[in-house]
Amino acid sequence: MSKDNLLDLRFYPIEEKQHRFKVSMEGSSGEVYHEPTLPFLDDDAIPNVVNRRLTVVKILESTNFAQGNFSEDEQAWMVREKLLLSERDAFNPEYLTTIGRKLYQVIGNRIQQNIGAAVANAKRDRTWLHIRLRFPADDPKYLHLTDYPWELLHNDYDFMAHQGVTFSRYIAYSSPSPNLPTVENLNVLLISSGAGDTRMGLRSLPDTERNAIAQGLQQAKKEGLIQLEILAPPTWNALRTRLLERRIGEDPHVIHFDGHGFFGKRCHQPGCRKAAIAKATRCECGAPLGEAQGYLVFENSDGTADYVSAKELGELLGNSGRREQPNSEHGVALVVLSACQSGMSRVSETVFNGVAQKLIGQGIPAVVAMQYSISVNAASAFSEDFYRSLGRKESLAIALGRGKSAMRIEDNQWYRPVLYLRWADNEGGQLFKDVSVQSDATLPVTISPSQPLPQKPPNPRSEFYKKRITAKQQELAAVESQLLGTLSAVDELKLQNQAEVIMKDLEELEAKLK
């Protein structure tokens, strides 16, 4: 992805202006900016203007409308904004489009023109356009700009995400961005926790739900450069032990957590560690509680819930990538959070949104998170196409777009995954690097004439690649035989495209044997 295919959409707070902010973008004629009012304000509320941001979050979290989740005032506003039918028994069928158009109007005409021109150029060149949403690290609570679903931007034609546009979120922390390890094969460590907690309204996850993600990963593994390992048991101690191990070529690059998330508080009293809702001030044991934050629910050795904070996880993952030698090709580059239930808190703040930001702040280069609850089928479909895309060495942003497409654009699940990126590589997060290109700083290897030339070590995967090549050759022969028959123009074009994909796969496989 070239620099021409990257747009930075930057958001800034404006001091002492509670309902206003600044949004800017670099264009061909320099920086363009706009100072809009926050979207989704309820001017009809008496006596003050009410920000309905949390109402929109609840709408997007929902799968179907339930009256008990929204107050009378909220429902009245939703009807006026055409988000809820006048009968108040179902969301308006176009509610996502309405939200997306409102967000697009907010960014202003000049920025809209820049985006429109970039989208047109990308369509003409048949390439992806990547929009990086840049937020301040100290996003003030009265704005909460990161809570708005900017990935739903919708012009008069369609959602930007359905027009070849990918999105990522960049939190402008002052600390330097981490470097990425170079990878040839992507090692994924899956943590699948079924632990629940009836006290907190978290039901235990059955095997069928947990296996859905693993099946999606297994399918992607068959078709790409993905190596899958499942952590057993899915406990905090097992993860610590695994990350301290040294396995040449098997260090995990991706940590994929599938289980419950929780936004609230946890007791730090020894022997207690019970969870509490975000508004609680003291634990049941009487100990005072600190600030609310996001937790991932691991399993204890007895299968009960173990609440691990994003800070604890970030510190463990960050330290696991540190080695005695600098620039070592180790460390976790990506964390994927795909819980079947994200467990929205009582104050309607998204759980994984908070965890994702915390992990990014702790130095994890990239996080894919579910801002809202996600169905089992959607999570499985997303994982399969997301990892299949990564296995083809596509960027994280493109892989996220393909995963969203697998969740069906006609359903209300596709907008739920978001990508947080901590490094700016102008490529939307490229995990794979071209190992054939040597850095200018790389010193040549010299061999003394008195020493024999080293023998090339055998490739343990050569038989695997040979079998794949044979299968691809047979597949190509079948397609070519169909092309010899009488076909319609549409069928012929489809077969030609299929043959091109197969030949590209053959080239990549044959390169592995050299």
Could you tell me the residue ranges of all domains in the chain?
Answer: 3-172, 186-411, 462-513
Pick the more confident residue, 452 or 161: 161
Q: Between helices 236-244 and 310-320, what is the axis angle to 10°?
A: 20
CA dist., res. 41 & res. 509, Å (int): 55
**pLDDT one-digit tens code per residue, 74-118:** 999 999 999 999 999 999 999 999 999 999 999 999 999 999 999
Please identify which residue in the block is written with the tokens 């090339």. Answer: 456
**pLDDT one-digit tens code per residue, 43-86:** 876 667 889 998 999 999 888 899 999 999 999 999 999 999 99
CA dist., res. 99 & res. 92, Å (int): 11
Closest residue by Cα to residue 57 from 354, 290, 495, 460: 354
Q: Would you state the pLDDT for residue 449?
A: 35
Residue 333 to residues 6, 77, 222, 238, 396, Cα–Cα distance (Å) = 21, 43, 22, 20, 11
What global pTM score does this model have? Answer: 0.78
Q: What is the CATH number of domain 186-411?
A: 3.40.50.720
The mean pLDDT value for 472-486 works out to: 66
Instruction: Tell whether the torsion through CA atoms of 417, 423, 428 and 433 is positive or negative.
Output: negative
Whether 266 shows a pLDDT value over 60: the answer reads yes
Contacts of 438 (CB under 8 A, 6+ apart): none
Here the contacts of 43-50 (C-beta below 8 Å, separation 24 or greater) are 44/76, 44/77, 44/80, 45/73, 45/77, 49/19, 50/77
The mean pLDDT value for 388-397 works out to: 86
CA dist., res. 102 & res. 323, Å (int): 48
Please identify which residue in the block is written with the tokens 């629940």. Answer: 196
Q: Would you state the pLDDT for residue 445?
A: 29
Q: For the chain, what percent of residues have pLDDT higher than 70?
A: 76
Q: What is the mean pLDDT of the chain?
A: 80
